[in-house]
Every structure is written in structure tokens, then in C-alpha cells.
Amino acid sequence: MPASSSGNEQVYAQLEACDGIAQVIVSPLQRCQAVARMFCETTGLPLQIEPRLSEMHFGDWDGERYDVLWQSARAPGIGDFWQSPWQHTPPNGESMSAFHLRLYDWWQQFTATPSPLNAAVVTHAGVIKQLLAIWLALPEGYDTHLSRLEIGYGGMIQVSVHFDEHGQVWPKVVF
């Protein structure tokens, strides 16, 4: 589903307001890629499409309205998933463990080589929530943050990444 024009304008304005962006890394899904591509074409910045930044694959639930999913008698149901996402995988979808591992792998590769360059990452709310769990070192299997964090369309967070003298990565979420 593509983002609305006002959503694209909001994301574009936020990207413009970021200081010193040297590259843009984006999910391959249309909602994110359209605005990132437009921004990079205007600014001349390099665009890297990163498949691991795709939203969690919800299988048979993708494209369904929430009210339909809530009324479905099929197990596991969406209520089961929201209450215990690590124990319930959407039918024909991606497990929470696989989703977490995909994002953890991306983060490890992204930070494998210290860089002074700033990057803008354009991705989805579920991806951002799971990356926050990684950055905050929440234990695998922890899921409270998924329902207690609201990241609206076009929402933005800032993460400052520091490397110590041993090459250890220290991400800080900046408010």
C-alpha cells in the first residue's frame, strides 16, 4: 500500500531537516521506497535498498482489514499474536524470532565497520520497534514494547552510534 501524499511530504520534510546525511537506506517496500527515492534524486545522495528492513511478513494477514482479522475464528488469531507474538506466528507468515534475527543481522553488518557518516534509514513502524529493542538490549522474547510504543506514519527517531576503543557499538536513542 503506498503512503499518502501528505505522508510522503512529512517524511521528505523530516529528511530535509536532518543534518549531514551521507546516505539513505530504505526498505524495498513501496511505502518507504517512493519518498526515499524522490529525496535521493533531489539531493544526489546514494540510495541503498535493504531487504532486511522490510516490515514483518504477516502471511495470510497481509492486506486484510483489522476488523476482519479480529472476527476470524482461524487459529492462531490476531489476538493470540498481539498477546504473545514470540509464541504465535501469523498463518504463512514470518515468526517473531526470524524477524528479530533478520534485523539483528542487518544491525550487526551496518555497524561492523565504524563510520563517521550519517545515514537516514527509511523503514516501517514494526521494524523501528524491533530495532529499538535491539538498541536498548531488551531480551529476546520481550514483547511489551510492541504494544506500548506508538510510531505513527512518517514518525522519526534518532539514534546516535558510538564506537569505543575496542570497537564495541554503543547505540543511544536520542529524544
Superfamily of structural domain 5-54+119-174? Phosphoglycerate mutase-like (3.40.50.1240)
pTM (predicted TM-score): 0.91
Residues 48, 27: Cα–Cα separation, whole Å: 9
Over its length of 175 residues, how does the chain's per-residue pLDDT go in tens digits? 455 677 788 888 889 888 899 999 999 999 899 999 999 999 999 999 999 999 999 999 999 998 999 998 788 999 999 899 999 999 999 999 999 999 999 999 999 988 888 999 999 999 999 999 999 999 988 888 888 899 988 888 999 999 999 989 999 999 8
Peptide bond into 116 cis (omega under 30): no
Residues 25, 115: Cα–Cα separation, whole Å: 15
